[in-house]
């Protein structure tokens, strides 16, 4: 008897529909699995047999043949255990399939428990796209799948529960998400902890308001890392679409950590020993890298010159396109990677060159070699370049914090972002624009018209410092953000001057 069930396999962050065909016949006992399964799927034969036996569902000594269609798509993960086990029982005549309109996904343990899996949100979206009525997933993953509207989600804890559900002998209530009720959890850090640093604070606010990339340049202990780690706290809360998109990526990577929905902007800070595959994604079976895990949030690279140069150069394309494509011999996978890049670096290997705090021990050639680890094209993708000086000792020993809190800064950032969303909603574009940093040349001409004095100012500054075309456009984008923070519709020479000032450290380093 042949049984057919619905499931899916995750490729990138999208799920491809898979039909599980199971045939049980008498003859030489065996378990034959075809359809390009990877090792984790093939090993499921052992898990499935143990789960059936320990759930008092002995199928006997039979020949089992399983086909995962389409046969030309490689199948990853252990989520096929549950549909294969149900298919064996139906094909063996031990179970009547009363709910063929359900998608099944779950990993089985030897004692019959259904263990959590990755990419459940992508599987649920695939079930809805296939017009199935519901999906059966591990109970731990049920709240995540319930984020998809118009789909009944059933969470099961054991194989026996799944059998009763498919047979129609039990009618459990579908799981409801409820994850969007109430405010998001508080951020673990706050800008109120930062002492002094008015210019760096101003640059951080401008960067957050316009989605601009920010470079913090200065000696050790000046507060570069402290400022960077608070950048995500002043970004506006993610929209529902952004939260679901971020959750899909983290679910595929197995980083949800028991939280069904990512309600805060992600903040990723990989170590400088991170490889290029870890940074932009890849591997034998491609997984999202740090640039994708920081999607809709902040990617912080501390000690930027210490990163491997191939890894840094691989980021140039995602910074421009907002996505990264990992190509392998058999397939290509595209991950979203629209993030705000924040980096920190010292002026030399010892870190104290020109700081006035300690005497620099580095020679001129050594310091120049250190700075040249960062290529010009990569530096050209930073919109803001700020020199962070150490705060005064008297400020550090103050009992109470004197700086603005993240909430106060976030309020101004939210208002500036709202102005941008209103502006871009009236603009027809091939791609959706979320903030000023994503404007193209056509958008710049339309939304950042400069008067004669401003054009002369920008042209003179560009000739003096040899600015590239990208750098000139970058200055205009930052000036537009400064005007938005001041609730101004027109970009003036003062806004442009401040934008150029926030890049001054680039030429002084």
Which 3 state secondary structure label does DSSP give 464? Answer: helix
- Integer-rounded Cα radius of gyration of the chain: 27
Alpha-carbon distance of 35 to 38, in angstroms, equals 9
Closest CA to 43 of 51, 52, 33: 33
User: How much is the pLDDT for 180?
Assistant: 59
| DSSP label at residue 109 | P
> Which DSSP string corresponds to 151-162?
-EEEEESBHHHH
User: How much is the pLDDT for 440?
Assistant: 87
| Beta-bridge mates of residue 298 | 267, 340
Tell me the CB-side half-sphere exposure of residue 365, using CA atoms within 13 A: 0
Distance of CA 460 to the CA centre of its chain: 40
- Reported as type and span, the H/E element at residue 377 is helix 376-379
- The number of helices, as runs of H, and strands, as runs of E, in the chain is 22, 16
Report the 10 Å Cβ neighbour count for 184: 14
Report the 10 Å Cβ neighbour count for 229: 19
Alpha-carbon distance of 217 to 214, in angstroms, equals 10
Length of the chain: 509
Distance of CA 268 to the CA centre of its chain: 9
Cis peptide bond prior to 70, omega within 30° of 0 = yes
Which 3 state secondary structure label does DSSP give 77? Answer: coil
Report the 10 Å Cβ neighbour count for 390: 18
Alpha-carbon distance of 190 to 183, in angstroms, equals 17
Cβ-Cβ contacts under 8 Å for 466 (sequence gap 6 or more):
none
Alpha-carbon distance of 493 to 319, in angstroms, equals 28
Alpha-carbon distance of 300 to 262, in angstroms, equals 18
- Reported as type and span, the H/E element at residue 325 is strand 323-327
Tell me the CA end-to-end span of the chain in Å, nearest whole number.
75
Domains delineated in the chain = 2-167 (3.30.230.10), 191-391+405-508 (3.40.50.300)
Query: pLDDT tens string for the chain (509 positions)?
Result: 799 999 999 998 999 999 999 999 988 889 999 999 999 999 999 999 999 999 999 898 899 999 999 998 999 889 999 999 999 999 999 999 888 999 999 999 999 999 999 999 999 999 999 999 999 999 999 999 999 999 999 999 999 999 999 998 888 899 987 665 567 778 888 898 888 888 999 999 999 999 999 999 999 988 899 999 999 999 998 988 899 999 999 999 999 887 888 888 999 999 999 999 999 998 777 889 999 999 999 999 999 999 999 999 999 999 988 999 988 767 788 999 999 999 999 999 998 887 777 888 888 899 999 989 999 889 888 999 999 988 776 666 665 656 789 999 999 999 999 999 998 887 666 567 889 999 988 888 888 888 888 889 999 988 888 888 888 899 999 999 999 999 998 898 899 999 988 876 565 55
User: How much is the pLDDT for 393?
Assistant: 67
User: How much is the pLDDT for 260?
Assistant: 84
Give pTM, 2 decimals.
0.90
Residues 121 and 251: beta-carbon distance below 8 Å: yes
């Amino acid at each position: 008897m042949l049984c057919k069930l619905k499931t899916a396999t995750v490729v990138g962050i999208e799920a491809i529909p898979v039909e599980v065909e199971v045939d049980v016949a008498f003859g030489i006992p065996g378990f034959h699995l075809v359809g390009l399964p990877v090792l984790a799927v093939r090993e499921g034969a052992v898990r499935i047999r143990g789960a059936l036996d320990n759930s008092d569902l002995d199928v006997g000594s039979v020949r089992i043949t399983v086909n995962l269609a389409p046969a030309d798509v490689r199948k990853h993960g252990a989520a096929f255990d549950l549909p294969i086990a149900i298919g064996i029982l139906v094909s063996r005549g031990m179970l009547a399939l009363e709910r063929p309109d359900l998608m099944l996904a779950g990993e089985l343990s030897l004692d019959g428990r259904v263990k959590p899996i990755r990419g459940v949100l992508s599987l649920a979206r695939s079930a809805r796209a296939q017009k199935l009525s519901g999906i059966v997933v591990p109970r731990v993953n049920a709240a995540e799948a319930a984020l998809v509207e118009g789909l009944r989600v059933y969470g099961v804890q054991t194989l026996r529960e799944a059998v009763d559900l498919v047979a129609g002998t039990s009618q459990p209530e579908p799981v409801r998400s409820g994850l969007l009720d109430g405010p998001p959890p508080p951020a673990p850090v706050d800008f109120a902890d930062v002492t002094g640093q008015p210019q760096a604070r101003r640059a951080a606010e401008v960067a957050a308001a316009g989605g601009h990339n920010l470079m913090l340049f200065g000696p050790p202990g000046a507060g570069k890392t402290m400022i960077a780690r608070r950048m995500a706290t002043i970004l506006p809360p993610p929209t529902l679409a952004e939260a679901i998109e971020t959750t899909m990526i983290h679910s595929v990577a197995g980083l949800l950590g028991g939280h069904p929905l990512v309600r805060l902007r992600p903040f990723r800070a990989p170590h400088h020993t991170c490889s290029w595959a870890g940074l932009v994604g890849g591997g034998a079976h491609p997984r999202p890298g740090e640039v994708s895990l920081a999607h809709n949030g902040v990617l912080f690279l501390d000690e930027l010159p210490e990163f491997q140069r191939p890894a840094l150069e691989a980021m140039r394309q995602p910074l421009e396109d907002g996505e990264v494509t990992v190509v392998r011999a058999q397939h290509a996978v595209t991950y979203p990677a629209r993030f705000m890049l924040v980096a920190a670096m010292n002026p030399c290997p010892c870190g104290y060159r020109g700081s006035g705090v300690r005497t620099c021990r580095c020679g001129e050639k050594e310091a120049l070699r250190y700075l040249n680890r960062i290529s010009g094209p990569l530096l050209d993708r930073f919109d803001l370049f700020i020199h962070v000086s150490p705060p005064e000792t008297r400020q550090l020993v103050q009992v109470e914090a004197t700086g603005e809190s993240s909430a106060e800064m976030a309020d101004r950032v939210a208002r500036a972002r709202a102005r941008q969303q209103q502006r871009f909603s009236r603009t027809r574009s091939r791609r959706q624009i979320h903030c000023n940093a994503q404007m193209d040349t056509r958008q710049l001409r339309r939304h950042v018209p400069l008067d004669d004095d401003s054009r002369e100012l920008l042209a003179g500054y560009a000739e003096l410092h040899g600015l590239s075309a990208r750098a000139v456009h970058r200055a205009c984008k930052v000036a537009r953000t400064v005007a938005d923070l001041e609730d101004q519709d027109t970009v003036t020479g003062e806004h442009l001057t401040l934008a150029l000032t926030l890049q001054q450290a680039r030429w002084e380093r």
